[in-house]
Structure 1
């Protein structure tokens, strides 16, 4: 288990550093140097390639992680597992590519004429980017089976973002035209795949010779069925995260998509503590299910929900009250996304407050319902976007995200209660929400001063002091009391 712990620690450090870099790139650096239409087009191209690669993979990235242990045998080249892992997705890529080219008129039809011309110019490059993203995801799955994940995490979380920042700065300083920027953006995303291939060769795990043994280790039908199940689950997640960008672009143009996706990425800062907690929660919940320890699971459910609420409210208010400062770092056109940030923050906060209901479902004996919820969320997101974007534009996409997240989390919370009699709420959640309301009012009433930066510091200080004081005085978070008592004893001595 030593290698797992070492790789896990490295991945944690890399993930946090990468999240910071990603926020700087997508929410600050690119909006500072690129116009909204340029940002909107770049992100749409990436969304198209992501969905393209996901369909072509036919769920084999997840299959690779699930079934590699049955093939593991380094001396025998893992019995031809890597060629098997790559083979069907390459066939899938050929099929999807045929549909991609034949459906070109249909893909371009919803866009405004100027946007359609720009997308058409780089249409073929979308296929190139999708191919490299597909190969990367498959090799990454293979490395996860080998317990060699730190290097691929470094490439994806750190190196890619550093390279994107470099290309963006080169464009902003006038060294690159927009055409060269787009090609550079595609190149740095594609280069990771080649680096991952080189790494596999370096560690002696690039076994590309096909063998008949690969078809005998496990029934091929079983692999395909699992892949199909994984494809449905994965594509639902991709649709949820990408379809709004596509629909905003097609209805309102690339400039609106640039404003919308920038607001979207600003709101993602709220999810950082949730993601970190879920990494810990997943194995713990699996262990509770194994032991059938429902009492400890119920306690963990309430504690994590309380922790998510207290951290989520603080971060949401910290971001929302300081949007003037955040948008002052960008081109003025992006400030149109202020309302969108508030709506998306509400959706993400609700998603966090409802706790770990999704993880409880996916680790439970009724784990297949997780697919039902994911598909329902994807269909709901698409339907609400179709309903709300025409009358409300990019703000409609934000409302669609909020309503879809609210509906699915209410359904998941009810399902966990109905199936297992577990629910995450107690009176302390109301105390935390009350503290958040008091802190929000105090921060909002603080008048702005001559400098947006100084105003940001003052509002953050007031928010922190009022929020912490009310939370501690009401004992809304019992876990914090031992820490306060320890600090108090030290101050007295």
Structure 2
């Protein structure tokens, strides 16, 4: 856990600085400067379209690169020409995807009401450009993860990108940009991140763009394409799980409701940041464990990561859920509070996703990686059907419920598969004790009535939650790492 802890700590710090910026952008900036329909257009239509396009173009090579890089590592100064092999097929794929997106424009516009379609049409090309930027950024991020250089990429994606988006929104509000200019600036922010990652690779001496035949002798391109094809289908299924709710809210309820749902999604995103920080290094580390056949270390990492995610996830989920009135009050626009129930359902699904640990990474990097495709396709189909049924009936809450069911279902299946196939499961008595402590702390923080001042209510509930939860964790000894840290701190203070 040494390298994971060091990188994880840096990434967590970066993630939480980014969270503060993202929170200000989501709650204090965008809802005040843009209409719900404009937010829905950018965040619930253009970004999901571009993300799906980027996934198809990359053809699973981001994950394939992390899986196969251990075989190329240190094979000469340029890792046997690995980077050109990683970038080549996706660049060809992007050309094909761009053509398909352009040809499919009339068909896509027919899915939306006329007013929404008229708003989308002038900005449609921006989705194609955004797809290319996202693809290049994800490929370079995967390469940096394989090199165990994750902090700069985290900084660019979590902090710098958000600052640039805030700047674009402010420039639009002050009249320096038209709305179309804002959309172009949005795409430009992702382009800047991709360029900075390339510059960083050059600075650390890892930007090796000259192709070599040696790369094809270490691992045949056909094998990587085969793995990439399965990863592509798996990733597309995962992307459907992440984006289909926003897209279907837009088609069935309009861009304005999609914008409100996007704000609800962003509020719940704070919960997943510590999970993402851990997973940035976990993929490459688990790939190394598979290569070395070290199942004991993998099982230990599985248990530790699950316990840490449970500990942090429960605290954050309670902190967000107990203070939703305060969070929505900061927006000063009552129409967004319609998403409160959706936030709670999204928090529940994402908490389960975090608690189940790194099961998806274990399956995706294992010799039986094809089974992950079965899980994802089945769940993607289920969530599409659930959204189709629940959104007309329950609105935003229906979309969130469908997402929650999908996350619980796929993680239950993956956890069972890893346990049944490899004899590893991450749960023990400590997980049960953490959940019990979280339940008690949540009830204790929820019990006091709301005070006339929203800030005082936030302070009261936050203090009760922190004290009860922290004391419960220490007394039940559910987190050995935290107990050891407190013991060291006590010893230093004594000296």
Matches within 5 A, 1:41-120: 41-43=41-43, 44-66=45-67, 70=72, 85-120=86-121
Give the SS at the match of 2:177. Answer: coil
Question: Deviation string for 1:360-396 (max 9, x for gaps)?
Answer: 4345554443333233333332232222222222211
Flag the structure with larger Rg.
1
SS at match of 1:450: coil
- Distance, in Å, in 2 between the alignment partners of 1:152 and 1:304 is 22
In structure 2, do the counterparts of structure 1 residues 285 and 479 end up closer, same or farther at CA, with 3 Å as the change threshold? Answer: farther
8 Å Cα contact 2:72/2:79 also seen in 1: no
TM-score, normalised with respect to structure 2: 0.84
Whole-angstrom distance in 2 between the partners of 1:210 and 1:434: 55
How many angstroms apart in 1 are the aligned matches of 2:342 and 2:276? 22
Normalising to structure 1: TM-score of the pair?
A: 0.84
In the alignment, which residue of structure 2 is the partner of 1:344?
Answer: 346
**Separation in 2 of the partners of 1:21 and 1:348?**
21
How far did 1:185 drift? 1.4
Question: Corresponding residue for 2:237?
Answer: 236
Q: Which residue is equivalent to 2:356?
A: 354
For 1:55-454, list aligned pairs within 5 A: 55-66=56-67, 70=72, 85-141=86-142, 151-197=152-198, 218-278=219-279, 283=285, 287=289, 290=292, 294=296, 301-330=302-331, 331-362=333-364, 364-454=366-456
Render the CA deviation track for 1:125-152: whole Å, top value 9, x for unaligned: 2222223333334444555667765554
Residue 455 of structure 1, CA deviation: 1.0
8 Å contact 1:109–1:116 — kept in the other structure? yes
Deviates more, 1:49-58 or 1:11-20: 11-20
- The 2-side partners of 1:33 and 1:481 are apart by 46
> Secondary structure of the residue that 2:351 maps to in structure 1?
helix
Tell me the distance in 1 between the aligned counterparts of 2:79 and 2:287.
32
Cα distance in 2, alignment partners of residues 483 and 266 from structure 1: 31
Q: Which has the larger displacement, 341-350 or 421-430? A: 421-430
Distance 2:235 2:406 in 1: 18
Instruction: Give the match's secondary structure for 2:451.
Output: coil
- 1:338–1:281 Cα change, 3 Å: same
Structure 2: distance between partners of 1:426 and 1:149: 30
- Gaps of at least 5 residues in structure 2 are none
Separation in 2, partners of 1:140, 1:284: 17
Range with greater deviation from structure 2 (106-115 or 220-229): 220-229
Q: Secondary structure at the match of 2:450?
A: coil
Inter-CA distance 24–254: structure 2 relative to 1 (3 Å threshold): same
More displaced, 423-432 or 115-124?
423-432
Q: Which stretch shifts more, 327-336 or 17-26? A: 17-26
Task: Give the unaligned 5+ runs of structure 1.
Answer: none
Residue in structure 1 matched with residue 33 of structure 2 by the alignment: 33
More displaced, 5-14 or 186-195? 5-14
Q: CA deviation at 1:339?
A: 0.7
Task: Output the CA distance in 2 between the equivalents of 1:225 and 1:338.
Answer: 43
Distance in 2 (alpha carbons) for counterparts of 1:332 and 1:185: 26
Task: Between 409-418 and 274-283, report the one with greater CA deviation.
Answer: 274-283
SS at match of 1:122: helix
Q: Matches of 2:302 and 2:143 in 1, distance apart?
A: 33
Please give the alpha-carbon distance, in whole angstroms, between the structure 2 residues aligned to 1:315 and 1:5: 20
CA contact (8 A) 1:251 1:393 kept: no
Shift of 1:118: 0.9
Q: Is the 8 A contact 2:8 2:281 kept in 1?
A: no
Give the distance between the partners of 1:293 and 1:124, measured in 2 at CA. Answer: 47
Report the counterpart of residue 456 of structure 1 in structure 2.
458
